[in-house]
Structure 1
Amino acid sequence: MNTVEVADKKFELLIENDNINKRTRLIGIQMNVDYENRCPVFIGVLNGSFLFMADLLKEIEIPCEVGFIRVSSYKGTASTGTVRETFGLPDTLKDRDVILVEDIVDTGFTLKYILEKVHLQQPASVRVCTLLYKPDAIQTQIDELEYVGFEIPNEFVVGYGLDYNGLGRNLKDIYKAIP
């Protein structure tokens, strides 16, 4: 399927699931090396990261813990710039190695908000793993961005956990909006 329709928008194929799986496997291998003899806490940023997080964790062979946070700054296809936290971080991150797992980093505002909350708990280390990164959209420095699946253009995307007005998360590939 090279094009799909989600609600009132048309999208064309950007990244096939096979490529997502290969890249996720490589990131997992790197994390197993980087965190050898440690027990990191993976924190998925819901809702978008759930598929990527599940597939990534299947590649992790070291001991680890898993948690989730849910925040939102999107309405339709644009960021509102205001971050709403609907449920928060675990409060046991002091002296822990934390890996935040994101579906996409674009403006960086949501991630910056989460990172500030994480750093308040004085973790031993904090790294960010994102499936997608839009370097042309970033508006704030994210020093913790360590693991990036794919750099993509500043276009609206859907599929593999990413949605358009709540729809399209279940698509196995990633699609970009057709203008």
Structure 2
Amino acid sequence: MNGGLIPAGQLLTQLTFYHRMHYIHATRYRDNQGTNELTWNYRPDVELTNEHVLLIDDIFDEGITLKAIVEELKIENPASINCCVLLNKEHDRKVKDFNVDFVGIDVADRYVYGCGMDFHGYLRHLPGIYAIKEDQI
């Protein structure tokens, strides 16, 4: 979840309660194209049984990848799993029976980048959130 690195880094510095931080990386994308197969580049390497898990990601677009990750992590029997995203893209193409628990801001259905989200693999590092003009897509 490369996109979650910047939002997670910014959020975690604000948390004042005792917690552990770990990285996971799963994707459905190959050559910038979505697929139906979830591939783990880095699985959790800590015991999740009876732990409270907060997944932090950049954007809740269709939710296919995030839902698949949650389903995989449920096998580990955590006490709870919550999902936090910086952006929620507003449209009706989201997966059924799955919602995120915490949303920073809702955005229109536009191609957005920056603050963890990429533009063709680049520009994740930008400190702001930018959108491509609708006539440039």
Relative to structure 1, the CA distance from residue 153 to residue 80 in structure 2 (aligned partners, 3 Å threshold; closer, same or farther) is: farther
In 1, Cα distance between equivalents of 2:108 and 2:38: 23
Secondary structure of residue in 1 paired with 2:21: strand
Identify which of 87, 94, 97 aligns with 1:141.
97
**Structure with the larger strand share:** 1
Gaps of 5+ in 2: none
User: Structure 2-normalised TM-score?
Assistant: 0.88
User: Structure 1-normalised TM-score?
Assistant: 0.68
In 2, Cα distance between equivalents of 1:83 and 1:171: 27
User: In the alignment, which residue of structure 2 is the partner of 1:112?
Assistant: 67
Bigger RCO of structures 1 and 2 (CA < 8 A, at least 6 apart): 1
Gaps of 5+ in 1: 1-45
Displacement, 1:91? 4.2
Give matches, 1:1-179, under 5 Å.
Answer: 46-74=1-29, 75-76=31-32, 79-136=34-91, 137-143=93-99, 145-178=100-133, 179=135
Q: Which has the larger radius of gyration?
A: 1
Aligned-pair Cα RMSD in Å? 1.6
Displacement, 1:139? 2.3
1:58-105 deviation digits (Å, cap 9, x = unpaired)? 1100000011111222343x5334332211123400001000101111
Aligned length: 132
Secondary structure of residue in 1 paired with 2:70: helix
